[in-house]
């Protein structure tokens, strides 16, 4: 049934449909409505779950860990500083192999304080061992949360569903909401192999001494790499049941493109419009959207990008002291690929700075110039930056 | 896993043929498996119980941190695990336990 | 006269763990398991007990047990309690265990949150009065005057210069239905208090004083004697707060001078008469508040 939902509502409704048993979340802008909505569902008896009024994000994730460890499906949501505060526990949840699902409303990182959208927060924890999915619209948020539990519980890995703060979290769009019966048919109950249970006592989280730690870590890495196939498998089944599929990456008019934009999240929507306009003028441009960022979909991206002459990577994050994270990753993926395209990085939209089609067009032009020149003179540029006002250049 | 590359200190019961048996997430499914490590090798002094003096009060059993002493008359030390701390000897109301320096090869 | 609590012979903590010879804290763990039995799930903070009992691939625990991090034993245990409730699993107690570090300092927020929420968790703090596992650094629970590696004895500063943080009082002030202090030298009392706490649905707190051989600089065989002297000198008071009502559960019949307790411990060896007198005044004041002569 189609409802008009904000991204936050879509995430909350998905958690409800997933029949989560423990919600342990702390409010933070712009995710707050998720927590409020779930509190409402529990208070109304619409969701049969324990709603924990935790006192911080660190405790939120800790409680999710406890709940998942005893066999209760757990859900949380956060953003920015909250994600940073719980970051210790993110690595631990992955190391403990607990299938927690979390919604992250992408928001900039302090300092200075900024409540608006960018992707620095989830990028900062890309090494944590969580599967990371980036959504383009609110429909995808709902669908991804549901898919996430299947992927998580079948591989015993935590999954983070990321979506742009304010742009998606607070914007209402039509979303097709499946029925509880349809979701029950897709998502069976959670049955971990070794839950904490007095009947069969196990020890979780021991001291992983040097004789074993490396192998234990390797197993986690293998699980994360296996998630690529699992995501595709679950997505395919979801597509059959609900008519919507997302895959690891999405290609938009890029099969014969000479210049391809590579991006994540809602920026893709704006970029696709521009691509259409450029195509109408005969420009051979296209877009590839990274939907699954961790595990990094190397094979799918190399396949989608290698034929292009240039790839303009647009991202709302910066790995300070180096380039954007996605740019570094795709550079690595294409490093030994013969005839790989030229790569350019465009940092944009930080702290909620609006990314306009004009800015994206600037990126396309820079890519075209690089193709003509046969080289990239400035690999990293910032879009929409008022360079003249920046203190360093005074 | 090739045996030559196994780091030292891997317990032999963790290896089955070529495979290092690790449960995902390093979950330990065998409860109480520290019993495989005989900490008795730690001690310098060992408790010796004077069976005539022992009344079977159980105080030594109560205060043993391992535990490496069993209730009974007389109490019996499990020398596989006893670390020789001497709490039992210190607490015994009947002075029935003496700490004796151990001879070791 | 109260009947002594029944102490099962079954050991739910296997020997072969790596605790120091004479460790008071592992004894506390042994007592906790005797008090509570099999139907528990333990969430333990990083610290001595966690490290000495779970060197992969071995574990000393014969009950379900999880360690996630240092500051969050209470939060993880709260999640366990919520999970059990959501799954309709009754009769299993969620127990959080942490040292004084993971309780009084880095663990205080999570503990406070769990108590404020009324989570059904029994929190047990084993107090060896410093961050012992990392090599004897002071904690908020380190008593006044004690040597630790971060409160060393030098020309300018001589040992811990702050009084011990009163965590039981903090938890009682939260309105927790049951708060108690205990000592490894009084195991029956400790076991009784744990059982009382476990029987209550809601947040309960038991704080057990447990000497550390290397950290307190005592002989390995003196653990119980030293813990007993802490109580007999009034340095450590055994009490309960039940439904907001304070009751001292043991009053030393003839309170001994604090020097009897201090002189057995190398961490107090540096104290001069003036400093000992000061500590005696602090203990006297504490005993006055508790109605101990």
Residue B75: CATH number of its domain: 3.30.70.20
Mutate to test the interface with A, among C48, C56, C82 (most CBs of A within 10 A): C82
Note whether B7 contacts A211, CB cutoff 8 Å: yes
Looking at the fold, whether A236 and A256 belong to one and the same domain comes out as no
- Which among A201, A209, A219 is the nearest to B22, CB-wise? A219
pLDDT tens digits, C222-257: 999 999 999 999 999 999 999 999 999 999 999 999
Interface membership of B21 toward A (CB under 8 Å): no
Q: What is the mean pLDDT of residues A177-196?
A: 98
Instruction: Mark yes or no for CB contact C75/A63 under 8 Å.
Output: yes
The CA distance from A254 to the nearest CA of chain C, in Å, is 45
**pLDDT, tens digit, for every residue of C257-289?**
999 999 999 999 999 999 999 999 999 999 999
Question: Residue C4's pLDDT band (boundaries 50, 70, 90)?
Answer: confident
Angstroms from C60 CA to nearest CA on chain A: 9
Residues A90 and A219 in one domain: yes
Contact check, Cβ <8 Å, B28/A206: yes
| Alpha carbons B60 and C31: distance in angstroms, whole number | 14
Based on the domain organization, do A185 and A101 belong to the same domain? yes
A259 shares its domain with A226: no
The verdict on A94 and A214 lying in the same domain is yes
Q: Which residue of C has its CA nearest to A69?
A: C80
Please check whether residue C43 touches A, CB under 8 A.
yes
In this structure, the answer to whether residues A341 and A232 fall within a common structural domain is no
| Residue of chain A nearest B28, judged by CA positions | A203
Q: In which domain, by residue range, is A279 found?
A: 251-393
Over 70: is that where the pLDDT of A392 sits?
no
The 10s digit of each residue's pLDDT in A5-29 is: 999 999 999 999 999 999 999 999 9
Q: Which of A242, A274, A308 is the last residue of a domain?
A: A242
Same domain flag for A116 and A207: yes
Q: What strands, in cross-sheet order, belong to the sheet with C178-183? A: A203-204, C65-67, C40-44, C93-99, C121-127, C204-209, C178-183, C238-242, C245-250
- Return the residue of B nearest to A96 by Cα: B25
Last residue of a domain, one of A206, A222, A242: A242
Whether residue A30 has pLDDT greater than 50:
yes
- Same domain for A53 and A198, yes or no, is yes
The count of structural domains within chain A is: 2
Q: For B63-77, how does the pLDDT look when each residue is reduced to its tens digit (9 = 90+)?
A: 999 999 999 999 999
CATH code where residue A316 lies: 3.40.50.920
Domain that holds residue B30: 3-101
The reply to whether C110 touches chain A by the CB within 8 Å rule is: yes
pTM of the model: 0.97
Q: How many C-beta neighbours within 10 Å does residue B74 have?
A: 16
Please indicate whether, in this complex, the C-beta atoms of B65 and C220 are within 8 angstroms of each other.
no
User: Under a CB-based contact definition with an 8 Å cutoff, are residues C120 and C41 in contact?
Assistant: no
**Residue from the list A56, A63, A88 with its beta carbon closest to the beta carbon of C76:** A63
Domain count, chain B: 1
Does B35 contact C16 at a Cβ distance shorter than 8 Å? yes
pLDDT tens-digit series, residues B28-38? 999 999 999 99
Same domain, A85 and A229: yes
Nearest CA in chain A to B22: A216
Residue A355 sits in the same domain as residue A229: no
Confidence category of residue A221, pLDDT binned at 50, 70, 90: very high
For chain C, list the domains and their CATH numbers.
Answer: 24-290 (3.40.50.970)
B19 interface with A at CB cutoff 8 Å: no
Query: A121-130: per-residue pLDDT in tens?
Result: 999 999 999 9
For residue C3, name the pLDDT band (cuts at 50, 70, 90).
confident
Residues of C with CB under 8 A from a CB of B: 7, 9, 11, 13-24, 26-27, 30, 53-63, 187, 213, 219-225
User: Do both A225 and A272 map to the same domain?
Assistant: no
d(CA C146, CA C144): 6
Chains that touch B (3 or more CB pairs under 8 A): A, C
- If asked whether residues A155 and A270 sit together in one domain, one would say no
Is this complex's ipTM strictly greater than 0.95? yes
Interchain pair C66, A205: CB under 8 A: yes
């Amino acid at each position: 049934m189609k409802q008009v939902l904000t991204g936050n509502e879509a995430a909350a409704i998905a958690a409800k449909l997933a029949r989560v048993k423990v919600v342990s979340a702390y409010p933070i802008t712009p995710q707050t409505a998720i927590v409020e909505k779930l509190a409402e569902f529990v208070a109304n008896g619409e969701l049969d779950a324990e709603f924990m009024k935790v006192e911080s994000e660190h405790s939120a994730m800790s409680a999710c860990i406890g709940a998942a460890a005893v066999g209760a499906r757990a859900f949380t949501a956060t953003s920015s500083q909250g994600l940073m505060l719980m970051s210790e526990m993110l690595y631990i949840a992955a190391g403990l192999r607990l299938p927690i699902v979390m919604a992250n409303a992408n928001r900039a990182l302090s300092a200075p304080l900024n409540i608006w959208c960018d992707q620095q927060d989830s990028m900062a924890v890309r090494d944590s061992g969580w599967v990371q999915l980036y959504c383009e619209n609110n429909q995808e948020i709902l669908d991804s949360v549901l898919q996430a539990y299947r992927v998580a519980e079948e591989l015993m890995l935590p999954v983070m569903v990321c979506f742009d703060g304010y742009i998606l979290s607070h914007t209402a769009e039509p979303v097709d909401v499946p029925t509880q019966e349809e979701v029950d048919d897709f998502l069976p109950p959670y049955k971990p192999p070794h839950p904490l249970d007095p009947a069969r006592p196990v020890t979780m989280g021991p001291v992983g001494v040097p004789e074993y730690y490396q192998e234990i870590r390797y197993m986690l890495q293998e699980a994360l790499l296996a998630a690529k196939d699992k995501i595709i498998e679950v997505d395919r089944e979801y597509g059959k049941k609900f008519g919507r599929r997302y895959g690891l990456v999405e290609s938009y008019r890029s099969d014969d493109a000479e210049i391809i934009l590579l991006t994540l999240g809602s920026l893709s929507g704006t970029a696709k419009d521009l691509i259409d306009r450029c195509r109408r003028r005969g420009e051979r441009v296209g877009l590839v959207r990274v939907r699954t960022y961790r595990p990094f979909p190397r094979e799918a991206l190399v396949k989608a990008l290698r034929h292009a002459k240039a790839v303009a990577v647009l991202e709302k994050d910066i790995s300070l002291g180096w380039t954007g994270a996605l740019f570094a990753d795709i550079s690595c993926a294409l490093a030994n690929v013969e005839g790989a395209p030229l790569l350019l990085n465009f940092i944009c939209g930080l702290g909620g700075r609006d990314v306009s089609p004009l800015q994206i067009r600037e990126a396309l032009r820079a890519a075209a110039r690089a193709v003509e020149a046969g080289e990239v003179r400035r690999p990293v540029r910032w879009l929409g930056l008022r360079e003249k006002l920046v203190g360093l250049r005074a | 896993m090739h045996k030559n590359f196994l780091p030292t200190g891997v317990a032999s019961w963790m290896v089955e043929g070529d495979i290092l048996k690790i449960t995902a997430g390093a979950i330990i499914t065998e409860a109480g498996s520290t019993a495989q490590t005989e900490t008795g090798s730690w001690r310098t002094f060992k408790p010796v119980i004077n069976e005539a003096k022992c009344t079977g009060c159980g105080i030594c059993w109560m205060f043993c941190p391992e535990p490496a002493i069993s209730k009974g008359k007389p109490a019996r030390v499990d020398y596989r695990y006893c670390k020789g701390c001497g709490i039992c000897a210190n607490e015994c109301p009947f002075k029935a336990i003496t700490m004796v320096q151990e001879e070791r090869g | 006269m109260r009947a002594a609590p029944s102490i099962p012979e079954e050991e739910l903590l296997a020997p072969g763990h790596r605790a120091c010879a004479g460790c008071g804290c592992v004894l506390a763990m042994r007592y906790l398991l005797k008090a509570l039995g099999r139907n528990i799930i333990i969430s333990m903070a990083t610290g001595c007990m966690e490290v000495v009992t779970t060197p992969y691939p071995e574990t000393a625990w014969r009950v379900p047990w999880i360690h996630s991090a240092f500051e969050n034993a209470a939060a993880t245990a709260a999640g366990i309690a919520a999970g059990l409730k959501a799954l309709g699993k009754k009769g299993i107690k969620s127990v959080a265990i942490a040292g004084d570090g993971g309780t009084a300092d880095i663990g205080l927020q999570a503990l406070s949150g769990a108590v404020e929420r009324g989570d059904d968790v029994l929190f047990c703090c084993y107090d060896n009065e410093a961050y012992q596992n990392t090599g004897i650094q002071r904690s908020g629970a380190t008593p006044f005057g004690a040597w630790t590696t971060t409160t060393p004895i030098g020309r300018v500063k001589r040992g811990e210069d702050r009084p011990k943080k009163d965590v039981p009082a903090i938890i009682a002030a939260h309105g927790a239905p049951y708060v108690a202090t205990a000592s490894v030298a009084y195991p029956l009392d400790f076991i009784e208090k744990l059982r009382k706490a476990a029987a209550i649905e809601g947040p309960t707190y038991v704080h057990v004083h447990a000497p550390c051989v290397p950290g307190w600089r005592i002989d390995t065989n003196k653990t119980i004697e030293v813990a007993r002297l802490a109580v007999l000198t009034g340095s450590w008071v055994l009490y309960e707060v039940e439904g907001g009502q304070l009751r001292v559960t043991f009053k030393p019949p003839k309170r001994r001078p604090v020097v009897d307790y201090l002189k057995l411990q190398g961490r107090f060896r540096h104290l001069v008469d003036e400093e000992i007198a000061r500590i005696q005044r602090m203990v006297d004041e504490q005993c006055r508040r508790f109605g101990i002569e």
